[in-house]
Structure 1
Amino acid sequence: MTTISKSKCGKCGNAFNDDKLYFQKHSGVKFCEECFIKDTKRKIRKNLGKDILKNHITIAVGISGGKDSLVMAYVLNEFFKQIPNSKIIGIMVNEGIEGFRNDGIEKGIKFCEKFGIEYHIATFSEYIGANLDEIVNIAKEKNMTMNPCSFCGVIRRKILNRVAIEKKCDYLAIGHNLDDISQAVMMNYIEGDIKKLAILGKSSNSDKFVKRIKPLSKIPENEVKLFADILKMDYHKAPCPYSCLSYRSEVSDIIDMLEEKHAGTMYSIVAGYERLLEHLEVPGDITLCEKCGEPSALKICKVCSFLKDLGLEKNSKF
Structure 2
Amino acid sequence: MLCSCGNEAFYYQKYSNRHLCKDCFKKDIERRAKKVLGKDIIRNNVKIGIGVSGGKDSLVMAYILKKLFENIPNSKLICFFVDEGIKGFREKAKEYVKEFCEEHNLDLKIIKFEDEIGYTLDEIIKNNYLSKLNIGKPCSFCGVVRRYLLNKYALKEGCDYLAIGHNLDDFCQTILMNYIEGNIKNIVQFGKEFEGEGFVKRIKPLKLIPEDEVRLYAEINNIRYQREPCPYSSLSYRHRMKKIIEILEKEKPGVKFSILRGYEKLLKYLNVKEEIRRCKICGFPCSGNLCKVCSWLRCFKTYPNHIKHSK
TM-score range, shorter chain: over 0.9
Preserved contact between residue 129 and residue 316 of structure 1 (Cα < 8 Å): no
Aligned partner (choices 30, 40, 52) of residue 29 of structure 2: 40
Determine the structure 2 residue equivalent to 1:190. Answer: 180
Task: Using the TM superposition, give the Cα deviation of residue 294 of structure 1 relative to its aligned residue in structure 2, in angstroms.
Answer: 1.2
Q: Which amino acid aligns with 1:82?
A: N
Partner SS state of residue 268, structure 1: helix
Alpha carbons of 1:316 and 1:182: their partners in 2 closer, same or farther (altered >3 Å)? Answer: farther
Partner SS state of residue 90, structure 1: strand
Determine the structure 2 residue equivalent to 1:218. Answer: 208
Instruction: Give CA deviations for 1:232-253 in whole Å, capped at 9, x if unaligned.
Output: 1111111112221543223222
Aligned partner (choices 3, 9, 12) of residue 5 of structure 2: 12
Determine the structure 1 residue equivalent to 2:113. Answer: 124
1:281 paired with 2:271, answer: yes
Task: Using the TM superposition, give the Cα deviation of residue 262 of structure 1 relative to its aligned residue in structure 2, in angstroms.
Answer: 2.2
Task: Using the TM superposition, give the Cα deviation of residue 306 of structure 1 relative to its aligned residue in structure 2, in angstroms.
Answer: 2.5
Determine the structure 1 residue equivalent to 2:85. Answer: 96
Within 1, Cα distance between the matches of 2:131 and 2:44? 51
Alpha carbons of 1:140 and 1:280: their partners in 2 closer, same or farther (altered >3 Å)? Answer: closer
Partner SS state of residue 217, structure 1: coil
Partner SS state of residue 30, structure 1: strand
Q: Which amino acid aligns with 2:283?
A: G
Relative to the length of structure 2, the TM-score reads 0.93
Relative to the length of structure 1, the TM-score reads 0.91
Alpha carbons of 1:150 and 1:245: their partners in 2 closer, same or farther (altered >3 Å)? Answer: farther
1:59 paired with 2:34, answer: no
Preserved contact between residue 281 and residue 304 of structure 2 (Cα < 8 Å): no
Alpha carbons of 1:193 and 1:299: their partners in 2 closer, same or farther (altered >3 Å)? Answer: farther
Alpha carbons of 1:59 and 1:67: their partners in 2 closer, same or farther (altered >3 Å)? Answer: same
Alpha carbons of 1:54 and 1:260: their partners in 2 closer, same or farther (altered >3 Å)? Answer: same
Report the number of matched residues: 307
Instruction: Give CA deviations for 1:226-284 in whole Å, capped at 9, x if unaligned.
Output: 00000111111111122215432232222222222222221111111111111122423
Aligned partner (choices 241, 250, 272) of residue 251 of structure 1: 241
Preserved contact between residue 94 and residue 123 of structure 1 (Cα < 8 Å): yes
**299-308 or 195-204, larger mean C-alpha shift:** 299-308
Please list every run of 5 or more consecutive structure 1 residues that lacks an aligned counterpart in the other structure: 1-6
Task: Using the TM superposition, give the Cα deviation of residue 35 of structure 1 relative to its aligned residue in structure 2, in angstroms.
Answer: 0.6
Please list every run of 5 or more consecutive structure 2 residues that lacks an aligned counterpart in the other structure: none
Task: Using the TM superposition, give the Cα deviation of residue 109 of structure 1 relative to its aligned residue in structure 2, in angstroms.
Answer: 0.7
Task: Using the TM superposition, give the Cα deviation of residue 193 of structure 1 relative to its aligned residue in structure 2, in angstroms.
Answer: 1.4
Instruction: Give CA deviations for 1:61-91 in whole Å, capped at 9, x if unaligned.
Output: 0011111111111111111120000111011
Determine the structure 2 residue equivalent to 1:4. Answer: none
Aligned partner (choices 170, 173, 196) of residue 163 of structure 2: 173
Determine the structure 2 residue equivalent to 1:87. Answer: 76
Within 1, Cα distance between the matches of 2:278 and 2:251? 45
Within 2, Cα distance between the matches of 1:249 and 1:298? 31
The RMSD of aligned alpha carbons is 1.8
Task: Using the TM superposition, give the Cα deviation of residue 314 of structure 1 relative to its aligned residue in structure 2, in angstroms.
Answer: 5.2
Instruction: Give CA deviations for 1:20-66 in whole Å, capped at 9, x if unaligned.
Output: 51111111111111110011111111111000000010000001111
